[in-house]
Amino acid sequence: MGLDHLQEEQQETVLRIRKRVIEAIGRNMDLYGVTLSTGHLYGLLFFADKPMTLDDMGREMEMSKTSMSTGVRTLLDLKMVNKVWSKGSRKDLYEVEYDWHQTFTDYFVIKWRKAVESNLQTLRKSIEELNRLIRDSDEQADAELLQILMEDKKKMLQAEAYYKWLDRLIDTMEDEEIYKLVPREEV
């Protein structure tokens, strides 16, 4: 709902409250790897009463269309903003994704799955190599080396166990099982 029908003092109060929330969102969007200005853009879209074009956003935020485009692309990639279609409009329209649970899940899954897979692959390759070195070492001549190899292997196995756990955590988020363990708070 737009603010046009409110008295000027009421509009200013609502805008001040919204600005406070937008500032807080903007400051904390770095958790998602998002710049302050892109966080503010998300906040603007959060309070918009209808989907906005890049031109609309640029006017509201006093930023260039290029900056708006970059910010919106970032938010689209993170699935925090959706491109929507409107009959009769030739310009792209954008609206915020209001399901913050889904936004967090998508972000977490996208970012962490990639890191987990990469780290597990590296650890497994390194553990195989350590196993070969351990197998091929002469226990008498290489006692010190063998101890170092065994300690390194132990550390890597602990890291591998952690990443396997993290992979299962990601699975629970992806299949929404997490909400059975930590239910959403409904409003």
Query: Can you tell me the mean pLDDT for 182-187?
Result: 88
- Tell me the CA distances in angstroms from 57 to 64, 67, 82, 89, 169, one per residue in order: 9, 10, 14, 16, 37
CA–CA separation, 154 vs 11, rounded Å?
62
Give residue 61's pLDDT band: very low, low, confident or very high (50, 70, 90): confident
Q: What percent of the chain has pLDDT over 90?
A: 51
More confident position, 131 or 187 = 131
Q: Taking the complete model, does pTM exceed 0.95, yes or no?
A: no
The answer, yes or no, to whether residue 182 has pLDDT greater than 90, is yes
Query: Can you tell me the mean pLDDT for 100-125?
Result: 91
pLDDT in the model for residue 111: 83
Summarised one tens digit per residue, pLDDT across range 6-59 is 788 888 898 899 999 999 988 888 887 889 889 999 999 999 989 999 988 988
The answer, yes or no, to whether residue 95 has pLDDT greater than 90, is yes
pLDDT in the model for residue 139: 65
